[in-house]
Amino acid sequence: MEFYLGRQIWEFRLTDGSIACKSGTCIQHLMNCVTSCSLNSEKMKRLILPFALLVLNLPAQTQDVKDIKLVDYRPVSIYAIPAHEVKKAKFGMVDFHTHDNVKTEAELDNWVKTMDSVGLAKANILSYSTGPEFDLIAARYRRYKDKFNVWCGFDYTGFEQPGWTELAIKELERCHRVGARGVGELGDKGLGEFYSKPVASTMHIDDPRMQPLLKRCGELHMPVSVHVAEDAWMYLNADSTNDGLMNAGTWKVDMGEKGILDHDQLIQTLENAVKANPHTIFIACHFANCCSDLGKLARLFDKYPNLYADIAARYGEISPIPRYTRAFMEKYADRLVYGTDMGTSIKMYRTTLRILESDDEHFYERDLFDYHWPLYGLGLSTEALRKIYQGNAVKILGK
């Protein structure tokens, strides 16, 4: 008996119950068809799923392992273990790392509905922006002023000219009057602060010209969100020994560029700025990009009470080492804040909740994280979740 699935012809042999693809090897295509929206009939899925499972259990000769490319590798966990969907956070969350992800009123309305569904009480919009662009972004979210804080950037226009610092401070103060609650996301991957609109700079955060700005942030009670470096995988060779290969290839840092600072040098620029401005709160984005060695961040936490870190967009990096990560996050729960930096989808939010709240083991989320390793729930304590989700936000923002 032959049947069509997608663009492939499959044969089901009544004699022995076997199944085979007659128009090429396409196991991944079959699984995609089973789970795709085009098969919206539950009855159809029930009919096809057994065939899909049979295909997955066909002898190895149906697909030569030598022909499988790593970029196409999509492992499916076979473990019969508990799995949980955490639909809503245990406490109302404050997201310290998201961006201007919507462009229309309808998109904004849908985002707010998603926030309510997952228990996200407030989101901090890191706009990078100053001037008219910041004003436009601030106005966009004013309709939901209880749900969003908009943060501004630094204006680097003319940063190489005398008097730039004074002009930048005036624009910072103007943005504060318009409604900016913080500054960020500043970003330096080795060649200087370039996360800024309209103008990027070649200064590092510990540049003497930056210090009056950072000091003024403290005086205005504006926390500073800082991205320095990338995680260690992005500095390694993109070869067969790099266990974060696919993501490392996408975000690889080119250390051959003239004057570029390496990972540890960038962490040092952050430390210098934090140390020089004890009355300014700094939030290091993405665990300060120290996911492969959280001890580096722990050292900074131990030395500088004005330093925090967000956990945004690093769930894929910390989840594979759940026991070590849990111990770290429990110990430093009063210095970590929730963040996403991955859009606005309900699946994204609930995946972060599953990782933080559940004890689930060995599951994959390739749609969100471009790694091939399995993920694990951290099962953080109630008290740690309370601090990370909302308690530290009150300390940083006042409410």
In this prediction, residue 31 carries a pLDDT of 46
* Mean pLDDT estimate for the chain: 88
Can you tell me the distance from the alpha carbon of 179 to that of 135, in angstroms, rounded to the nearest whole number? 9
* CATH architecture of structural domain 93-397: Alpha-Beta Barrel (3.20)
Q: What is the pLDDT of residues 16-36, one digit of tens each?
A: 445 555 444 444 444 444 444
Q: Is 50 exceeded by the pLDDT of residue 291?
A: yes
- Where do the domains of the chain lie? 2-68, 93-397
pTM: 0.85
pLDDT level of residue 57 (50, 70, 90 thresholds): low
In this prediction, residue 159 carries a pLDDT of 95
Cβ neighbours of residue 245 under 8 Å, at least 6 residues apart? 70, 233, 238, 239, 372
Q: Is 70 exceeded by the pLDDT of residue 1?
A: no
Distances (CA, A) of 196 to 131, 134, 311: 11, 11, 21
In this prediction, residue 91 carries a pLDDT of 97
Percentage of residues in the chain with pLDDT exceeding 90? 75
Can you tell me the distance from the alpha carbon of 36 to that of 151, in angstroms, rounded to the nearest whole number? 38
Q: Is 60 exceeded by the pLDDT of residue 250?
A: yes
Start-to-end Cα distance in the chain: 66
Q: What is the mean pLDDT of residues 336-349?
A: 98
Nearest CA-CA partner of 232 in 308, 288, 315? 288
pLDDT level of residue 97 (50, 70, 90 thresholds): very high
User: What are residue 132's phi and psi, to 5 degrees?
Assistant: -60, -35
Q: Is 80 exceeded by the pLDDT of residue 334?
A: yes
Can you tell me the distance from the alpha carbon of 308 to that of 396, in angstroms, rounded to the nearest whole number? 9
